[in-house]
A = this chain, B = another copy of it.
């Protein structure tokens, strides 16, 4: 039985879709109210939202590791992580305050509507499958990226992040705002149906994109970026890369090609926030997952 779920936004303060969806629903709470569980709405990083920045000191969505949550917080986001863990968790506990967290993000990559899932819980994957049925354009990426198990949604036993793009940082796009809202309404309907026992778990399988590796930009000895994502790969998220496909164009105009023997799917291509993290794209394998 699901008693309480949290919809969170503004974890990255310059990803306005989540910031404004939370505002919208705070003004119109009936839209996210359902009959048999409670929905709470939360801006997770208020100072970053105020300054329209990704973060103040450290990326909040990498701040929920056990290390950070068990040490004295030394920066703004670590303090937020402790507070959110108390409010929504505590992480790893049998009786967390909320049963499910869905964290709203946007990306400059052309990811359309995507879920980023790290949780292994059965309920999470049932919800994922339900959303894939309702929204056939939805892509599911199973994350094992730069840091593991440190996302906002990891506080709760169940949850995931929604990523929607392409949207520049600091910008609202009406089309993708509406699509994100609709996906949340489907998710809430799923919980309601699940609680009523109406949801038939037919153990169907779904296709997902499973993380394989991160690819950094070509850099010089000092670490400066010396190439861009190639124009033929730009905006082609979830494209299958094959050996010999162009992936980068150097500032001098030379093309760099994909050299892996195994064809892999590229995603999070040219996401602004990942320049500093050191990756130009994620590579993934498409697998059929029994949920």
Binding site secondary structure of chain A:
loop
- Please name the residue on chain B nearest to A25 by beta carbon: B251
Nearest CB on B from A228, distance (A): 4
Interface presence of A23 (CB below 8 A): yes
Residue of B nearest to A220 (CB): B27
- A257 on the B face (CB < 8 A): no
Bits for A212-233, please: 1 = Cβ < 8 Å to B, else 0: 0000000000001100111100
A92: CB under 8 A from chain B?
no
Q: How far is the CA of A231 from the CA of B175 in the complex (A)?
A: 5
The yes or no answer to A187 lying at the interface (CB within 8 A) is no
Report which residue of A20, A172, A229 has the largest number of chain B beta carbons within 10 angstroms of its beta carbon: A172
Chain B positions within 8 Å of A169 at CB level: 168-170, 272
Copies in the complex: 2
- B168 & A272 in contact (Cβ 8 Å cutoff): yes
- Given contacts A168-B166, A272-B168, A173 and B251 within 8 Å (CB-CB): no
A177 at the B interface (CB under 8 A): yes
- Give the 7 A-B CB pairs with smallest separation, nearest first: A168-B168, A170-B272, A108-B168, A174-B231, A175-B231, A172-B228, A24-B251
11 contacts between A and B (CB under 8 A): A27-B251, A27-B252, A28-B252, A52-B275, A167-B168, A168-B272, A171-B272, A172-B228, A173-B228, A173-B229, A173-B231
